[in-house]
Structure 1
Amino acid sequence: MKLSVIITTYNSEDWLRKVLIGYSVQTETDFELVIADDGSTEKTKHLLEEFKSSFKYPIVHVWHEDNGFRKSEILNKAILKTSADYLLFTDGDCIPRNDFVKMHLKHQQKGYFLSGGYFKLPLQLSTLISVNDIVNQNCFSIKWLVNNGLKANFKISKLTKNSYFASFMNWITPTKKTFNGHNSSVFKEDLLAINGFNQDMHYGGLDREVGERLFNFGILSKQIRYDAICLHLHHERGYADPQKIQANLKIRRYNIKHNIIRIKNGIVSE
């Protein structure tokens, strides 16, 4: 297959259902879904059973018990379960536009990872989006969003489906080309070379840290935030811990300063 899509989740069945519908209507179908489940209840397993006939390939459910925030660990386990050579990372609260997979495959290039973005929705709109809105792609329409209460601003231009505009905006955007857990893709061999995600890191920048070590490894990045579009559904972040975020920043600064490529506590313990 062309691609493995790794989706992180934790007890968010309502949002994950909308995300799975988004992947079920992709224009490119040659991909698998690998669910990196950080300890959800049986409800998530039952939801995935509902969708098993909606895709060309079986959904791979990678789960470990709930023992606090262990996203890096479950992502590393998911990476080892992928079947494709090219991996797309996203979250269970990000609905992909129907050309999302197509765009990641279109722009993939040896020696690069792809840096995508998202358009964030308020809770009211996140809840309002229905199955039909995703299937018919209404929720990606600027007019539909504004008519349903969204306050228009420049960021909404990311939803403009025009390849020339997208290329121009990717070129001029001041946003850095970072590795984003909600929308980035990379060759598996490059991720294995840096030993995957750092399991010493809690919430806060663990995906950015992967990108920084990829840069140290010699991998460059391409900006596709206006090409590969996903809608980020609203949710609270009760797991954010300021002290652990600061500890993560310390790790990142050390790795950048010392040009660290492989970390000790990753896919393989070294």
Structure 2
Amino acid sequence: MKDTKIALLITTYNSPKFLDLVFRSILKQTVNPYEIVIGDDGSKEDTKKLIDSYRDQFPFEIKHVWQEDDGFQRCRILNKAIAQVSADYIIQLDGDVMLHPRFIEDHLTVIKPKQLVCGNRCFVLKSKTEKLVNDPSNISLNLLNVKKRKRFFRIPFLSSLFKNKRNNTSRKGNVGCHMAYWKEDMVNINGYNEDFVGWGYEDIEMVERLMNSGVKKTTLLMMALQYHLWHPKSSRASSEKNKQMYFDCREKKLFYCEKGIKQYI
């Protein structure tokens, strides 16, 4: 489905130097997205200035969807951002990753109706991340710059040998920093559940509901490579509460949440 219009949806919060690295990697893509939509969970003015500085560098629209800083409200800003997407298909990223130049090109080769794609990433070492932040003029990486080195290699013809290992278990293999889905399918389940506040389990609960609604999941390995920049971990204070909401969703086989995206459409 090479003619599909793709939106890159990027979440961010007060990390303009990381977001700059994301943009630099998008500039190197072999295939352009239809648009970029930034879901901004309350960043300061420096993030807006960075986004504005890139508007003339891309031959497509950048939408900046911002909300007041009210703590970790990732589900809320994701819903607001998804509601503003004009494209039919969304590749969702966090604002602390860089992309292989053929990232979008690879995603285009696996698009299917009623399918969720869960990708993967390797992890950039702290020392290399600091160098990139201090001097972003050269964003190239090599094998010595990362952890999870098996994920560093792009070998598309081998991808099909690995992608089905986690397709039947919704919890494993889902990372919110790298997934792709149809906007229509997300609206059908009412998007992210905004009862999830704080870090943890919001992505796998959403995937659980997507799969309960009839969307099939596939995993993507050895192509559409992504590099996760090092940063301190977020607070896990909400993880137990959020985990229980996920287990409730799984046990009840829910596909719809009450507090979701439709309030913004």
User: After TM superposition, is the score higher than 0.5?
Assistant: yes
SS at match of 2:208: helix
Question: Following the alignment from structure 2 to structure 1, what is the Cα–Cα distance between the partners of residues 187 and 125?
Answer: 36
Are 1:156 and 2:149 an aligned pair?
Answer: yes
Check whether the contact 1:194–1:262 (CA below 8 A) recurs between aligned residues. yes
8 Å Cα contact 2:9-2:37 kept in structure 1:
yes
Gaps of 5+ in 2: none
Alignment of 1:1-270 (within 5 A): 2-129=5-132, 130-134=135-139, 138-139=140-141, 141-142=142-143, 146=144, 155-171=148-164, 178-202=173-197, 203-241=199-237, 244-268=238-262
Single out whichever of 26-35 and 86-95 deviates more from structure 2: 26-35
Contact 1:69 1:239 in 2 (8 A): no
Q: Deviations over 1:88-139 (max 9, x none)?
A: 11100010111111112211111210010110122111122354433xxx31
TM-score normalized with structure 1 length: 0.88
Percent sequence identity over matched residues? 30
- For the residue of structure 2 that corresponds to 1:222, the secondary structure is strand
- The structure whose residues are more often helix, as a share, is 1
Counting matched residue pairs gives 255
SS of aligned partner of 2:23: helix
Match of 1:55, as an amino acid? F
- RMSD, matched Cα: 2.0
Kept in 2: contact 1:30–1:56 (CA 8 A): no
Summarize the Cα distance change of 1:167–1:131 in structure 2 as closer, same or farther, 3 Å threshold: farther
**Which structure 1 residue ranges, 5 or more long, are not aligned?**
none
Deviation at 1:265, TM superposition (A): 0.8
Query: Greater CA deviation, 4-13 or 178-187?
Result: 178-187
Displacement of 1:175 in angstroms is: 10
- Structure 1 residue 193, shift from structure 2 partner: 0.3
TM-score, normalising length: structure 2? 0.90
Distance in 2 (CA, whole Å) between partners of 1:165 and 1:268 is 39
State whether residues 35 and 60 of structure 2, in contact with CA within 8 Å, keep that contact through their aligned partners in structure 1. Answer: yes
Aligned in 2, Cα 1:238/1:179: closer, same or farther, shift over 3 Å? closer
Q: Residues 127 and 48 of structure 1: is their aligned pair in 2 closer, same or farther, counting only changes over 3 Å?
A: same
